[in-house]
Amino acid sequence: MTVTPDQVAADLLLEELVSRGVRAEVHGAGVRLWPKEKVAAGQITRLRRYKAEVVRALRLAALDEERVYEWQERVAICMEDGRLGREDAEAVAWKQVDCDQARPQDAHVGPGAAVAAQREGIANRGETTPCGPP
């Protein structure tokens, strides 16, 4: 899978927040930051711009290595075999990996794990997973 500039920007933003002592967690479809007084106005602007990537990075950081692999594999299968766009493929993969039940994840745990996991790519184990609504 290719790492996009927006994903890198989201990881950099999360690293900045951590360095300022700000904690971040996924809250519903959004991101909760605290303490708010440590968040700069420019960071809020960037968070709005990269919200989807920040949420994605936090959710992926909450997974262990095996589940990250599982998620990546499902995304790839849905895009290749199911001919879904990236956003739809990721939505299906989250449901299939059951990430909706994952606990909210603090940014300080390592949001860069999302980009690092993608850089490693997906090894083909010859497994097939049906791509479609769960």
pTM beyond 0.75: the answer is no
Q: Which candidate, 10, 5, 110, 116, places its Cα nearest to that of 53?
A: 10
The 10s digit of each residue's pLDDT in 105-127 is: 444 444 454 444 444 443 333 33
Q: How far apart, in Å, are the Cα atoms of 27 and each of 56, 100, 105?
A: 12, 11, 10
Domain locations in the chain? 5-120
pLDDT at residue 6, as a whole number: 94
Task: Express each pLDDT in 34-83 by its tens digit.
Answer: 999 999 999 999 999 999 999 999 999 988 899 999 999 999 999 999 99
Strands of 21-61, DSSP E: 23-27, 30-34
- Angle in degrees, 0-180, between the axes of helices 112-120 and 5-19, rounded to the nearest 10: 150
Lowest mean pLDDT among 15-19, 30-34, 51-55, 129-133: 129-133
